Amino acid sequence: MKEIIDNWKKHSKEEYDENLNYLKSLKGNKYVDSTAADLDRTVFNKVDCLQCANCCKTTPAMVSRPDAKRIAKHLGIPPKTFIKKYLLEDYDGSLMINGVPCTFLNQDNTCMIYEVRPAACREYPHTSQFGFHRRSRMNAKNTLVCPATYEIVKRLKEIYP
């Protein structure tokens, strides 16, 4: 884990442009999605998110209306109250948690609403999901936020040079 984090801290910023161009070059490669999913399993076996939580500390989580309803029910408050108290609405109507670091992040990096957390949190960093090869910009951005994503892209570059 330490090696992955140290590497990410040292190189992710300077390699951003290279990684973005590399990820763009993967578009259309139908084998990349399953390789990325395999690497996701391997890398997340080595990375303990509770020792990191950088996504929760730096990136406001997107919240869908069904997420908001589910979390509000869990908190025992009406959805409208939950939205007003905990979410921001973007210009296009999309909703996100209003605190960075996240309002629901505990000091020990656990999540106060883990069982009912937004789908975007559950699925982050989306490296095991179908369509990985098409999401070059998002994946490149995530190499800056997420040490595991940086490591997955690093290993992909070794497999598909």
Binding site residues, ligand SF4, CB under 6 A: 47, 49, 52-56, 61, 97, 102, 104-105, 111, 113, 117-118, 121, 124-125, 145-148
Query: Which ranges of 76-126 does DSSP label H, i.e. alpha helix?
Result: 79-86, 119-123
Q: For ligand SF4, which is the closer residue by CB, 20 or 116?
A: 116
Q: For ligand SF4, which is the closer residue by CB, 37 or 49?
A: 49
| Cα–Cα dist 38/130, whole Å | 12
Q: For ligand SF4, which is the closer residue by CB, 8 or 22?
A: 8
Distances (CA, A) of 138 to 16, 27, 53, 115, 127: 12, 13, 18, 25, 10
Min. distance of Cβ 94 from ligand SF4 in angstroms?
15
Residue type, 88: L
